[in-house]
Amino acid sequence: MNSRHVVLSGCSGGGKSSLLAELARRGFAVVPEPGRRIVEEELRGDGRALPWTDPAAFARRAIAVAARDRERAGEAGGWTFFDRGLVDAAVALQHETGEPAARVLDRYDRYHAQVFLTPPWPEIYVTDAGRRHGLDEAVPEYDRLLAAYADLGYRTIVLPKVGVVERADFVLDRLR
pLDDT (tens, 9 = 90+) of the chain, 176 residues, equals 568 999 999 877 778 889 999 999 999 999 998 887 888 888 888 778 887 788 898 999 999 999 999 999 886 678 999 999 999 999 999 999 999 999 999 999 999 999 999 987 666 556 655 555 566 777 888 999 999 999 999 999 999 999 999 999 999 999 99
Whole-prediction pTM: 0.89
As for how many domains the chain has, the answer is 1
Q: Which domain holds residue 23?
A: 5-175
Domain of 85, CATH number, reads 3.40.50.300
Angle of helix 34-44 versus helix 86-97 axis, rounded to 10? 70
